[in-house]
Structure 1
Amino acid sequence: MQVTETLNEGLKRGYAIVVTADELETKVNEKLAEAQPEIEMKGFRKGKVPMALLKKQFGQRLMGEAMQESIDGAMSKHFEDSGDKPALQPQVKMTNEDWKEGDDIHVEMSYEKLPEIPELDMSGLSFEKLVVKATDGDIDEALKQLAETAQNFADRDEGAAAEDGDQVTFDFVGKVDGEAFDGGSAEDYPLVLGSGSFIPGFEEQLVGVKAGEEKTVEVTFPEEYGAENLAGKAATFDCTIKAVKAPVAAEIDDELAKKFNVESLDALKGQIAEHLESEYTGAARQVMKRAMLDALDEAVSFDLPPSLVEAEAKQIAHQLWHEENPEVHDHNHGEIETTDEHTKLAERRVKLGLLLAEVGQKAEVTVTDAEMTQAVMAAARQYPGQERQFFEFVQQSAEMQQQLRAPLFEDKVIDHIADQATVTEKEVDKDALQAAVEALDDE
């Protein structure tokens, strides 16, 4: 077997591979000899079929296997000897397409190799970590929001008109073509105006009603309504208003805490403080992570495989196009051209991705099965009622598994770098943290 270099330009490599006819014949004979003891043929005992007859019977089929194995073996040996790691799947093609048995095989192989990543002195890096404590004001504000979610309703003054957000208690009878329909009537029904509980256009017509009034609401059921006999039909609802109540926030006391399954107000405050500080910590981590990635981008320089950059730029352009055109849910659209901005962002992502992968490999960073399971469970919550199907999809999709594993691996590498670098804590208020987070979106 002969391997001759034909291209060595930057990260691009090309090789001409020749597998001789003698090598192919030897491999075919080896396969036949290996299979001979188990082969039975009419007129011969098991394992006693002559080699010449076996070659005539099976040689043609085994030749194809021998060709593929020889080429694969040549490629594997080349990568083992050279130490090259292809950025993408190598391109391989047979150049003597008129090949016939007895000829040598001529193959061209080309690829872009992954670059050599310079050693990174992480001890020379320094970062600032923002720290925010939950203040009494933060906790009080969160308590106020909780009290609003646990709101009660109190009767408005006699003769007061219902406003958006009020609770209206009423009886109603729904009719289509003048006839009441099943499931279209109720008594003493409490409806919060603006909640979207009823079909579109219903609740808006009750704004302004007063207790004791009667009101006929005219609506049209949506075309996609669940009940086929009502879908798209015009309907009237004869409503008798019994009470109009305004929302009243719950008192901030132990009783409020119990509504959230906490034994006391002090315990609820403690939980809120922990939750807030957990949110602040997550936001501060994102700020520090961006600073770390910026520093790594500046600290290290190396050639990038053009094919990876091009693929990443196309993916970025495609993603941004769909964000700008949310009404398009499929990929039945024309090719989206990449811009210099897409390419610049792609270069940064490819560079940092290769660098973090190298750092993680040298540090023996791994993602455990337990961490992957947690990630899958978290992702499955986005598909309520279809969790089982999602689990099965992940099990069958190596690409999806990689999508879930990649951010876990990256975060663990970031933690490793932070452990090696100098990290200084800086206590700030939540407004300063919020400004730092918003600045990330502006970059």
Structure 2
Amino acid sequence: MAVQIENLGQLDRKVTLEFARADLAKAREARLVKLGKTMKMAGFRPGKVPKNLVEKQYGMQVDFELQFDKASELFYELAQIEKIALAGQPRLEPKSELEADTIVFDALFEVLPEVKIGDFSKAEVTKYLTEIADPEIDRAIDVLRKQQVHYHPRGEAGHHGDGGANMAAQAGDQVVIDFVGKIDGVEFAGGKAENFEYVLGEGRMLPEFEAATLGLKAGESKTFPLAFPADYHGKDVAGKTAEFTITVKSVNWPHLPAVDDAFALSMGVTEGGVAKMRAEVKENLDREVKRRITSLLKNEVMEKLNSLCELDVPKSLVASEQERLVESARQDLMQRGIPNAKDVPIPVEMFAEQATKRVRLGLILGDLVKQQNLAATADQIKAEIDEQAATYEDPKEVVRWFYSNPSRLKDIENLVLEDNVIKYFTSLAKVTDKAISFEELSKLN
């Protein structure tokens, strides 16, 4: 077996493999005997087909399979002996005839690149700081209250009042209307409805429609022009101006539940009332702040790693990652119920940049973890699982769920590994703390 490895440039390599066809004789005979036991042919009982007919039917196929298997075996033996860091599977190309006494294959393959780690002390990253105080807690509770909103007709007295003296539709009110739209005096499809219900200010309707409704009372009508945007989803009316007439059937004001112990109970807080609810809301917000800050810092660190480190990217790994991303996109389409998602053409080229970036980062992280001993430890993995499990009603069951599945456990291991890399990187880089509000933090990608 030849052991001379040819350098074809950058990461591409080639090695020529040779072996005697006679070395496969015993395996060839055994393979043909096995096939003959199940071979069916007219005029013969199963398993009783003559050897020469089995040879005629399967001889070339067996030669082809055995020669490729042998070449593959020799290649991986060589890779182990020579300690070749393979980037992917080799491409085996036969260079001899099937019947030749000496079988020759070229094995074309890529090796993993050398990663040149840059000077992290020259990097600058931002770490955001956000404190959760009463205003943030109040806003979060308001969101919870709005999830339990219900509506009462304006002017009708009830247990929660009558909504005040102003009977006109206001922002936040729920209105029920009839409407009809016409373009050049002709009604159009989708431009008419009865007892149509929506809430003013939620953005469900076009701004002109909402503006026309504001200030109207139950029983009042209004006619107004409405210009549909050029990119409006209804292609028949996009870019055109319609004349709408709306008639308000009812105006209903929103009633939000009071922030009291009953409301806390409705939120699942069985003990401690409002104070306990506020503490739990703060805990959840703190957890969200930590998650977002960690995510933003991680993204910035990964960008810096990508720019500071130099390496050649194996084409085979990029191709594999592109295929994986295509399959992921297809699964997403299927989960969203897209018709014929299995057959929708998804060009791999659209994932070239993303795949290349992922492969680069994967190689950089792998090299850095190895160099600096940043692999996730069992204690770190357990601590991360315990932290995630603590947010659930039955933490022990969640811990069991993680440890019962190697794939889920691997996800946690990768999470801890990335955290180790971030800590190492930020210990060397210049880190600038920046205090921002929760609202500002929520808008950052």
Residue 176 (structure 2) pairs with residue 140 (structure 1) = no
| Residues 1:268 and 2:280 are matched in the alignment | no
Number of equivalenced pairs: 368
Which residue of structure 1 aligns with residue 261 of structure 2? 254
TM-score (norm 1): 0.57
Report the equivalent of 2:335: none
Deviation at 1:270, TM superposition (A): 1.0
Contact 1:253 1:265 in 2 (8 A): yes
* 1:40-439 superposed matches below 5 A: 55=55, 58-96=58-96, 99=97, 101-115=99-113, 132-148=130-146, 150-151=148-149, 155=155, 160-168=167-175, 191-193=198-200, 195=202, 206-213=213-220, 239=247, 241-242=249-250, 244-247=251-254, 250-262=257-269, 264-290=273-299, 292-293=301-302, 303-307=311-315, 349-357=358-366, 363=375, 408-417=412-421, 431=436
Shift of residue 211, structure 1, vs aligned partner: 3.3
1:168 shift after superposition? 3.2
Query: Which region of structure 1 is more displaced relative to structure 2, 151-160 or 410-419?
Result: 151-160
1:31 counterpart residue number: 31
Instruction: Quote the Cα distance in structure 2 between the aligned partners of 1:15 and 1:116.
Output: 20
Secondary structure of the residue aligned to 1:305 is coil
Answer whether contact 1:3 1:18 (CA < 8 A) is retained. Answer: no
1:305 Cα shift? 3.4
Shift of the 266–28 alpha-carbon distance from structure 1 to 2, 3 Å rule, reads same
Task: Give deviations 1:229-266, integer Å, cap 9, x for gaps.
Answer: xxxxx9x9995645x34546554443543453445221
CA distance in 2 between partners of 1:11 and 1:138 (Å): 53
Corresponding letter in the other structure for 2:436: D
- Can you list the C-alpha shifts for 1:18-54, whole angstroms capped at 9, x where unaligned? 2333234444234346778899999999999997786
Q: How far apart, in 1, do the equivalents of 2:414 and 2:147 lie? A: 38
Q: Which amino acid aligns with 2:20?
A: T
Q: Which runs of 5+ in 2 are unaligned?
A: 156-162, 188-192, 227-232, 236-241, 327-340, 389-405
Identity rate, percent: 23
1:42-100, CA deviations, whole angstroms, 9 ceiling, x for partnerless residues? Answer: 9999999997786566533422222222222222222222222332332332234xx25
Partners in 1 of 2:89 and 2:209 — Cα distance?
59
> Comparing 25-34 with 426-435, which one deviates more in the overlay?
426-435
The two structures, once aligned, show a CA RMSD in angstroms of 6.1
Residue 310 of structure 1: how far off its partner (Å)? 6.7
- Is residue 171–residue 201 contact of structure 2 (8 Å, CA) maintained in 1? yes
Cα 1:365–1:61 shift into 2, 3 Å: farther
Is the Cα–Cα contact under 8 Å of residues 21 and 100 in structure 2 kept in the other structure?
Answer: yes
